[in-house]
Structure 1
Amino acid sequence: MSLDPTTMLTLTIALAAAAALYLAIEWRSVREPSLLFWSSGFATISIGSTLALLRGSGFLLIGIWFANGLLVTAHWLFLMGVARFTETRLSRIWFLVVVVWVAMLLLPNDPSWSKIMMLVNSLMVSLVTLRASFLLRPHGNSLSVGAVQLRYVLLIHGVFYLMKALSTILPGTLIDLAAFRGEIIQISLVEGVMAVMLIALSMTGTERYRREKRIARLAARDPLTALYNRRALEVRAPRLFEEVSGARPGALLLIDVDHFKQINDLYGHTAGDRLLVALSEMIRSILPEGALAARLGGDEFVILLSDTSHEQVVHLGDVLREQFYQNVHQTFNTPQAVTLSIGANLFDQPPSSLAALIEQSDAALYDSKRGGRDSIRLIDRTTPGSEVLPAS
């Protein structure tokens, strides 16, 4: 198969159409705006390349002006997709790309127009593509493999179009857009096919990675409070236990809402859910660095601490109880006070399992309930005796 312009455009049409279809199907499944923009970009390339075939039949306005305009539009759609993917708000100046291209219709009809059109067209494609690559730079977190690949493919593609624009001003350069003549045009057609293929693979890989990460994140979170669920806590707890020693004790706080049923009975389950969400937000606000928090189910929560002390555990529990009481007192009127009971376990040796640690803390929680509720009871295993102590 010879790499003539017709063959290269036909390959571009097929690859871009396939990419557009695949991304559109993905968009229907996950409704990510970035996918819709990228799919539209590839569809635009497919249409533009089809129109470019018409220039050989003498349809220069459609085959050149419209086709090249659609090429710019496609890369602008890629930029919009990357902006949505990175959650970046673009300046309105990027919307002037369309205005600039419309002005291209005023080009004079003489031999110089091919160079002028390629210069302006290449510069616009280069600018939007390089901007898209810049948006994909890491922001504190490492990028996925697909996003890194997309970043560099766009970077190389943008640099190529910048060099293509510069080549048009070299003396003696042959550029004939009407007949696809000129070495730079031939190279551009080959690069276009490769770029379409690599950009499509990078975009699909990027979105697939983010979708998989989102699924994994949702599977690890309680759907109501967005705290970790018990399974996720069991996965993450062993790493925290490894850091526990005599010099760096750990602690588990088992938290239960006293008389929570009253909220559901008097104000409805929606109000009960709002209270649990409010409690989860309070837990997040006081959570020390490196600590873990989870909702075990119902109105029962867990906080797992590392490198802590008896005093710090008690202080954290008291702050949480006070914040919760103030919130409930201002929002709900119940016959019995809706408060927090906390059973805590301070340890300086890694426990046999998270389940065993929760079971020990449950004994302290039961003691808190039996002692009148709205209190914290602490099992301090860093001292001899390991008795349940009335911390507050």
Structure 2
Amino acid sequence: MALDPPTMLAISTALAAAAALYLAVEWRSIRESSLLIWSAGFATITVGSTLALLRMSGLLLIGIWFANGLLVMAHWFFLLGVARFTQARLSRAWYLIFVAWLALLLLPDEPSWSKIMLLANSLLIALLSFRASLLLRPHGKSLSVGAVQLRYVLLVHGLFYLVKAITAVVPGTLIDLASLRGEIIQISLVEGVMAIMLIALSMTGTERYQRERRIAHLAERDPLTALYNRRALEQRAVRLLGEVSTARPGALLLIDIDNFKLVNDLYGHTAGDRLLVALSEMIRSVVPEGALAARLGGDEFVILLSHASSERIVALGNALRDQFHGTASQTFATPEAVTLSIGANLFDQPPASLAALIEQGDVALYESKRGGRNRIRLVDGTLARGEALRAR
């Protein structure tokens, strides 16, 4: 089978349709909006390539102007998908791309029409491709292999269309959009097939990275509060605990909500969940950079600090207690105050294990509750006698 223009368009249609279907199926499983937008882009190419075949039947308005307009729209979808993937905002000026294309309807029907149409089409696609490639810059963060590939494929794709636009206006160049004749058009059809395959493969790799990253994120997070779960805490605590020394003491704060059951009994478990989420947000707001925070289960939370001091622990614990008590008392009226009890350990030697450290924090927490609740009990293990300090 000869690779003539109609055959190349048929191949483009099949490849684009397959890519659109695959990305749509993947979107159904992981619900990443970028996948659905990229799928829409390939679906648009599918329709545009099909309509392009109609120019052979003399339907030039549909087969040329409308089909090429859909090609521009497909690249706009690619740009929008990249923007969603990179969490970037697109200026409203990018919507003017369609206004520019509509203006081509005003072109006079003369011999130069094909060149002007090809020039405008190529420049718009190049502009969209360059912008999408620019959005995929690392910005100080590592990108997945698929995202890096997508960045360079879009860059090369944009360069091709830029060269195509320049070549289109070279005197003596044969371009006949109506019958798909001319070297530029022939090369463009071949490049289009290659670009569809490469962009689709790169987007697939990008999507896999996104899915794996999301799965890894969900595996280490508490589903309600989005703090680390115990398993993730144990994995991440190894490095922090290994850095503990007399010059850089570590600290663990074990936090428990006093009278939490009253909230669940009086207002329902949904209200209790809201209070847990509120506490997790407070914890995020007070923990310093480099610290670890996790929900161990129920209404029990833990904070692991490095380079700590007794003053720092007491200040952090009291700030958290005051903030929580203010929120809980304003939101839920209960017979007994809903407050926080905190048991804390300060240590300057790496513990035998995180579990052993949590057990020590549990002892301090029990002392805090036995002492009247709504307080912090700090055990300073860096002191020679290991004496206990109480802070209110």
TM-score under structure 2 normalisation?
A: 0.95
Alpha-carbon distance between aligned partners in 1 of 2:284 and 2:175, rounded to the nearest angstrom: 63
The superposition leaves residues 37-68 of structure 1 with CA deviations (integer Å, 9 ceiling, x where unpaired) of 21121112122222223333433333222221
Hey, what does 1:372 align to over in structure 2? Answer: 372
Matches within 5 A, 1:321-360: 321-360=321-360
CA RMSD between the two structures: 1.8
Hey, what does 2:46 align to over in structure 1? Answer: 46
Letter of the 1:328 counterpart: A
Alpha-carbon distance between aligned partners in 2 of 1:201 and 1:177, rounded to the nearest angstrom: 29
Q: What secondary structure is seen at the aligned counterpart in 1 of 2:173?
A: coil
- Count residues with an aligned counterpart: 392
- More deviation, 199-208/325-334: 325-334
The superposition leaves residues 225-269 of structure 1 with CA deviations (integer Å, 9 ceiling, x where unpaired) of 111111111111101111111100101011111122122222222
Letter of the 2:146 counterpart: G
Letter of the 2:128 counterpart: V
Q: What secondary structure is seen at the aligned counterpart in 2 of 1:285?
A: helix
Alpha-carbon distance between aligned partners in 1 of 2:42 and 2:323, rounded to the nearest angstrom: 54
The superposition leaves residues 20-53 of structure 1 with CA deviations (integer Å, 9 ceiling, x where unpaired) of 1101112222333322221121112122222223
Alpha-carbon distance between aligned partners in 1 of 2:136 and 2:269, rounded to the nearest angstrom: 43
Alpha-carbon distance between aligned partners in 2 of 1:163 and 1:50, rounded to the nearest angstrom: 25
Hey, what does 2:30 align to over in structure 1? Answer: 30
Q: CA deviation at 1:363?
A: 1.0
Alpha-carbon distance between aligned partners in 2 of 1:144 and 1:155, rounded to the nearest angstrom: 17
The superposition leaves residues 321-351 of structure 1 with CA deviations (integer Å, 9 ceiling, x where unpaired) of 2222222233333222222211111111111
- More deviation, 90-99/361-370: 90-99
Alpha-carbon distance between aligned partners in 2 of 1:53 and 1:326, rounded to the nearest angstrom: 69
Are 1:364 and 1:388, in contact at CA under 8 Å, matched by a contact in 2? no
Alpha-carbon distance between aligned partners in 1 of 2:76 and 2:135, rounded to the nearest angstrom: 13
Hey, what does 1:93 align to over in structure 2? Answer: 93
Alpha-carbon distance between aligned partners in 2 of 1:372 and 1:109, rounded to the nearest angstrom: 89
Q: CA deviation at 1:2?
A: 4.2
Q: CA deviation at 1:131?
A: 1.6
Q: CA deviation at 1:147?
A: 1.5
The superposition leaves residues 280-317 of structure 1 with CA deviations (integer Å, 9 ceiling, x where unpaired) of 11111110111001111111110000011122112211
Alpha-carbon distance between aligned partners in 1 of 2:323 and 2:91, rounded to the nearest angstrom: 43
Q: CA deviation at 1:86?
A: 2.6
Matches within 5 A, 1:214-233: 214-233=214-233
Matched, 1:249 2:249: yes
Hey, what does 1:131 align to over in structure 2? Answer: 131
Matches within 5 A, 1:48-87: 48-87=48-87
Matches within 5 A, 1:273-292: 273-292=273-292
Hey, what does 2:303 align to over in structure 1? Answer: 303
Q: Quick one: structure 1 residues 267 and 52, their matched pair in 2 at CA, closer, same or farther if it must change by over 3 Å?
A: closer
Q: CA deviation at 1:355?
A: 0.6
Alpha-carbon distance between aligned partners in 1 of 2:48 and 2:58, rounded to the nearest angstrom: 16
Hey, what does 1:204 align to over in structure 2? Answer: 204
Alpha-carbon distance between aligned partners in 2 of 1:89 and 1:376, rounded to the nearest angstrom: 45
Are 1:295 and 1:302, in contact at CA under 8 Å, matched by a contact in 2? yes
Letter of the 1:257 counterpart: I
Q: What secondary structure is seen at the aligned counterpart in 1 of 2:43?
A: helix
Alpha-carbon distance between aligned partners in 1 of 2:328 and 2:98, rounded to the nearest angstrom: 56
Identity of aligned residues (%): 76
Are 1:9 and 1:53, in contact at CA under 8 Å, matched by a contact in 2? yes
Alpha-carbon distance between aligned partners in 2 of 1:383 and 1:51, rounded to the nearest angstrom: 81
Alpha-carbon distance between aligned partners in 1 of 2:166 and 2:133, rounded to the nearest angstrom: 20
Hey, what does 1:235 align to over in structure 2? Answer: 235
Q: Quick one: structure 1 residues 255 and 172, their matched pair in 2 at CA, closer, same or farther if it must change by over 3 Å?
A: same
The superposition leaves residues 107-133 of structure 1 with CA deviations (integer Å, 9 ceiling, x where unpaired) of 322221111111111111111221222
Letter of the 2:342 counterpart: I
Q: What secondary structure is seen at the aligned counterpart in 2 of 1:245?
A: coil
- More deviation, 97-106/368-377: 97-106
Alpha-carbon distance between aligned partners in 2 of 1:69 and 1:278, rounded to the nearest angstrom: 50
Alpha-carbon distance between aligned partners in 2 of 1:53 and 1:378, rounded to the nearest angstrom: 78
Q: What secondary structure is seen at the aligned counterpart in 2 of 1:76?
A: helix
Alpha-carbon distance between aligned partners in 2 of 1:266 and 1:65, rounded to the nearest angstrom: 66
Hey, what does 1:259 align to over in structure 2? Answer: 259
Alpha-carbon distance between aligned partners in 1 of 2:22 and 2:344, rounded to the nearest angstrom: 53
- More deviation, 367-376/243-252: 367-376
- More deviation, 305-314/271-280: 271-280
Runs of 5+ consecutive residues of structure 1 not aligned to the other structure: none
Runs of 5+ consecutive residues of structure 2 not aligned to the other structure: none
Matched, 1:177 2:173: no
Alpha-carbon distance between aligned partners in 1 of 2:115 and 2:149, rounded to the nearest angstrom: 32
Q: CA deviation at 1:3?
A: 3.5
Q: What secondary structure is seen at the aligned counterpart in 1 of 2:303?
A: strand
Alpha-carbon distance between aligned partners in 2 of 1:217 and 1:5, rounded to the nearest angstrom: 47
Alpha-carbon distance between aligned partners in 2 of 1:54 and 1:320, rounded to the nearest angstrom: 69
Alpha-carbon distance between aligned partners in 1 of 2:250 and 2:184, rounded to the nearest angstrom: 67
The superposition leaves residues 51-96 of structure 1 with CA deviations (integer Å, 9 ceiling, x where unpaired) of 2233334333332222212211211221222222233332232222
Letter of the 1:202 counterpart: S
